[in-house]
Chains A and B, each alone.
Chain A
Amino acid sequence: MNVELILFFVLAAVAIGAALGMLFSRNAVYSALFLILNFATVAVFFLLLGAPFIAMAQVTVYAGAIMVLFLFVIMLLGAEQIQHQARRGWQRPLAMLLTLVLLAESAYLIFTRSDVLTVLPPAASDYGSPQSIGLLLFSEYLLPFEVTSILLLAAMVGAIVLVKEDKKKSGGRK
C-alpha cells in the first residue's frame, strides 16, 4: 500500500471537513477554529510535497499570526454572540453562480487537458529549501517582493494613523 496516498486521502477528508465546519458553524469562534484546522492540514500537504519551509511558513503566518488576530477581533467585539441578521437577498444567488462557474472551469480543465494530470518529474533536492527560496526572492522576484513589503508598510502606517486620528477626535469632544 502506498502510505503517501492513504495520508493524502485522510488529510483531504480532514481539510474538506474543516472547511465545511467553518462554513456551517453558528459560532464565529468555532468557525475560526475550523479555519485554523484547515490551514494546519494544508501545511501538512506542503510537508508531503517536500516543501517544509512553505509548510512552516503556512503554520506560522496563517494558522499562527493571522488567525490569532481574527480570534482577537471576534472576541473583543463579541461577534460570536451576534445572531444571524437578515441576509442581503442578492448574496446567495450570486455565490451559487460563482461556485458553478468555478466548478465548470475545473471540470473543463480536467476533461480537456489531460496533460495536466501526468506524473511530474521529481523535484530537485534543494527544492523549497530556505536557501533556494531566499535566492529566488532576492533575484528573480526582487521587484514583487519589495512592492509587497512597501504595501505591508503602508498598511501598517495606515493602521497607526487611523488609531491616532480617533484619539485626537475623542479628546477634542471632551
Chain B
Amino acid sequence: MVIDWVLVLEWVIKSILLVFILLTGFAYTTFYERKLAAAIQLRIGPNRAGPGGWLQPAADGVKLIFKEEFTPAEAYKFVFVLAPIITVVPALVIMAVVPWGDVVNLFGRMVPLYLADINVAVLYILSVASVSVYGIVLAGWASNNKYAMLGGLRSSAQMLSYELALGLAFIGPILIAGSMSLMDIIEAQRNVWFIVYQPLGAIIFYIAMLAEVNRAPFDMPEAEQELTAGYHTEYSGMKFSLFFMGEYIKMAAVSGIFASLFLGGFRGPFVDELPGLGPLYFFLKIVASLGVMIWIRATMPRLRYDRLMAFGWKVLLPLALLNVFVTAVVIVALGL
C-alpha cells in the first residue's frame, strides 16, 4: 500500500482549517446572536469591548478561561469530565461530510473542497447526531444533582424524539437526488433548490434541527424556573464553555446540512466558472440560516415540556411520514 503523503497533508490542512473556522465561527456566532437579538428587541447589545463591541467574544473567552473550575464532591469525576468532550467532538466531526465547494485548482493540484464525499454521508450525519445525545445524558447523570439529572433526561428524550422526524425529513432530498452522498444531492439542485420541491420537508427539518441543538423554543436547559440550568447546572469555567461551544458549533453545522439538503449547498450563480465562489455562497447560506434561528429565539416563548413531546410525536412525526409517502408516490407516478 503506497501512501500519498501529499494527499495526507492535504487532508490534515483541510481538517485543521475546518476546525479553526468552526472554533472562530463559534465565538462570532455568540456575538452575532447578541447583536441581532438586541436589534430585534430594540436594545443596543454588547458595544464596549473594541470598536462596535467586536472584541466581545475574546473578552468572554478570557473570562471563561480564568473562572474557577468547580467539580462537585459527589460527582462521578471521570464521566463529569468526559461529558463536555462528548458534546463538542460530534459537533466538530459532523461537518466532515458536508462539502463547502467543488474541486478547485490550487497551485497546479486539483483540490476538492470537502473532506470526504462518501456514499453514506446522510447516515453518517444521523449516526453522529445520535452519539451526541450521550454528552447531555452523561452530564446530567455525572453531576449527581436532581435538577441536572432531570434536565439531562428531558433534553435527551427531546433529542431522541425529534431525531426521528429529522431522519425522515432527510429522505425527501435523498429520494429526489437518488443518492445519499451530499455532493450528489447538491449536484441535483443545480437548477432548482429542493426547498421548492420539499417545502414541508424543509420546515420539518428546520423545526427538528432546532430541537436537536436545544435551541429556542425547545431550549429545555434554560427553563430556569423548573430546572435551574438543566444538565449543565453543575458545570463552570471551561467545562461549561465546552457545552456552550458544542451548542453553537452544532447550530452552524446543522445550518450547513440544511443548506446542503434544501438550499443548494455551495451552488449559486457563476459557481461553475469561478469555483472559489462556492465557499462564499455556502457561508452566506449558513449565516442566513443562523439569522433565522436567532430571530426565532428573540421572538418565541419556550414550549412547555409535555407540549413539546406531544408536538414531536403527534404532529411532526406523522407529517414527516406523510411527506416521505407523498414524495415517493409522486416520484414513481412521474417516472423520475
Known: A64-B133, A68-B160, A130-B180. A75 touches B149 (CB 8 A): yes
Q: Is B106 engaged at the interface, CB distance under 8 Å to the other chain?
A: no
Q: Is B73 engaged at the interface, CB distance under 8 Å to the other chain?
A: no
Contacts of A56 in B (CB 8 A): 120, 123-124, 126-127
A129 to B118, CA, bound (A): 11
A17 to B290, CA, bound (A): 42
- Taking a contact as CB atoms under 8 Å apart, the answer to whether B137 and A60 are in contact is no
Q: Is A65 engaged at the interface, CB distance under 8 Å to the other chain?
A: yes
A52 to B137, CA, bound (A): 27
Kindly name the residue among A3, A64, A76 whose own CB sees the greatest number of chain B CB atoms within 10 A: A64
Q: Taking the nearest CB of chain B, how far is it from the CB of A1, in angstroms? A: 9
Q: Is A151 engaged at the interface, CB distance under 8 Å to the other chain?
A: no
Q: Taking the nearest CB of chain A, how far is it from the CB of B243, in angstroms? A: 18
A71 to B138, CA, bound (A): 9
With CB as the reference atom, state the residue of chain B lying closest to A64: B130
Q: Taking the nearest CB of chain A, how far is it from the CB of B1, in angstroms? A: 6
- Taking a contact as CB atoms under 8 Å apart, the answer to whether B153 and A57 are in contact is no
Interface string of A60-89 (1 = CB under 8 A from B): 100111001001100110000000000000
Interface string of B100-130 (1 = CB under 8 A from A): 0000000000000000001110011011001
The 8 Å CB contact of B141, one of A3, A29, A59, A65, is A29
Interface residues of B in 1-33 (CB under 8 A from A): 1
Contacts of B124 in A (CB 8 A): 56
Contacts of A65 in B (CB 8 A): 130, 160
A29 to B141, CA, bound (A): 9
- Taking a contact as CB atoms under 8 Å apart, the answer to whether B119 and A72 are in contact is no
Q: Is B295 engaged at the interface, CB distance under 8 Å to the other chain?
A: no
Q: Is A53 engaged at the interface, CB distance under 8 Å to the other chain?
A: yes
Interface string of B233-267 (1 = CB under 8 A from A): 00000000000000000000000000000000000
Kindly name the residue among B1, B134, B160 whose own CB sees the greatest number of chain A CB atoms within 10 A: B134
- Taking a contact as CB atoms under 8 Å apart, the answer to whether B123 and A36 are in contact is no
The 8 Å CB contact of A129, one of B119, B127, B140, is B119
Q: Give the B interface residue count (CB, 8 A).
A: 24
Q: Give the A interface residue count (CB, 8 A).
A: 22
Q: Taking the nearest CB of chain A, how far is it from the CB of B210, in angstroms? A: 20
The 8 Å CB contact of A57, one of B118, B119, B123, is B123
Interface residues of A in 1-20 (CB under 8 A from B): 2-4
Known: A59-B127, A60-B126, A130-B180. A52 touches B156 (CB 8 A): no
- Taking a contact as CB atoms under 8 Å apart, the answer to whether A2 and B1 are in contact is yes
With CB as the reference atom, state the residue of chain A lying closest to B123: A56
- Taking a contact as CB atoms under 8 Å apart, the answer to whether B156 and A68 are in contact is yes
Kindly name the residue among A52, A76, A129 whose own CB sees the greatest number of chain B CB atoms within 10 A: A52
Contacts of A4 in B (CB 8 A): 1
With CB as the reference atom, state the residue of chain B lying closest to A53: B120
Q: Is B79 engaged at the interface, CB distance under 8 Å to the other chain?
A: yes
With CB as the reference atom, state the residue of chain B lying closest to A65: B130
A10 to B240, CA, bound (A): 33
Q: Taking the nearest CB of chain A, how far is it from the CB of B85, in angstroms? A: 13
Q: Is B131 engaged at the interface, CB distance under 8 Å to the other chain?
A: yes
The 8 Å CB contact of A72, one of B123, B126, B137, is B137
Contacts of A52 in B (CB 8 A): 118-120
Interface string of B139-163 (1 = CB under 8 A from A): 0110000000100010011001000
Interface string of A101-138 (1 = CB under 8 A from B): 00000000000000000000000000001100000000
Known A-B contacts: A29-B79, A64-B131. Give 17 more (CB < 8 A): A29-B76, A52-B119, A56-B124, A56-B127, A57-B123, A59-B127, A63-B127, A63-B130, A65-B130, A68-B133, A68-B134, A68-B160, A71-B137, A72-B157, A75-B141, A75-B153, A130-B180
Can you sample 6 A-B contacts with CB below 8 Å? A3-B1, A36-B134, A59-B130, A63-B127, A68-B137, A130-B180
B residues in contact (CB < 8 Å) with A? 1, 76, 79, 118-120, 123-124, 126-127, 130-131, 133-134, 137-138, 140-141, 149, 153, 156-157, 160, 180
